[in-house]
Amino acid sequence: MNLHSPQVQGFFRIPADQLQAAPILCDYLRQSRDLANYVLVAGDVGESKEVGEYANRLNLPIAIVDKRRHGDDENARATNLIGDVKGKVALIVDDEVASGGTLMEATRFVLERGRRGGSLCRPARKRIDKIHVQSVARLVADAIHAIHDGSSVSRLFR
């Protein structure tokens, strides 16, 4: 599901398909809120391609946090923001969260630049009322079923 790097598929000894959560997440966002004043934000330059895919699906503008490391530590600091977040609801997208440092730094930086509200993903064990977890269980179940009965997995890609 959403491989951090699509090239990883080449390391499998059997055919593998990468399932995508974007259609499910985008459907949820379209149905649950008015996106007229939203902006999608990439927490770092490496996430900009994925954020661009979300932006195409949702017809939203994007902003990108430019962060730099100043040493051999894990502490990257945001230095620039590419795009406009002033007065907008910022939706920060990231495909992988280990410590949350990139998300927290991006959130801090975007807040300082005048965003109006926002969203941040957290693991299920850390749920709070302001965070909604969208399940991909049906997609995974459909993929397993298709593989088991030999039907097309490609019908799951949209």
In the CATH scheme, what architecture does the domain 17-122+129-156 have? 3-Layer(aba) Sandwich (3.40)
For residues 8 and 139, the model is more confident at 139
Residue type, 27: D
The predicted structure's pLDDT at residue 136: 87
Predicted confidence (pLDDT) at residue 121 exceeds the cutoff of 60: no
Q: Report CA-CA distances (Å) from 21 to 57, 95, 157.
A: 12, 10, 10
Q: Respond yes or no: is residue 86 known to be catalytic.
A: no
The predicted structure's pLDDT at residue 116: 58
Residue 99 binned pLDDT confidence (cut-offs 50, 70, 90): confident
The predicted structure's pLDDT at residue 113: 83
- Six token digits for residue 26: 């985008």
The burial of 10, by beta-carbon neighbours within 10 Å (0-12 exposed, 13-18 middle, 19 or more buried), is given as exposed
The torsion angle over the Cα atoms of residues 75, 8, 25 and 144, rounded to 10 degrees, is -140
Nearest CA to 139 among 25, 50, 21, 60? 21
Kindly list the domain boundaries of the chain, sorted by start residue: 17-122+129-156
Predicted confidence (pLDDT) at residue 105 exceeds the cutoff of 80: yes
Contact 156, 143 (CB under 8 A): yes
Residue type, 87: G
Out of 49, 67, 126, 130, pick the active-site residue.
67
Total-model pTM: 0.75
Summarised one tens digit per residue, pLDDT across range 28-84 is: 999 998 999 999 999 888 888 889 999 999 999 999 998 887 776 667 788 889 999
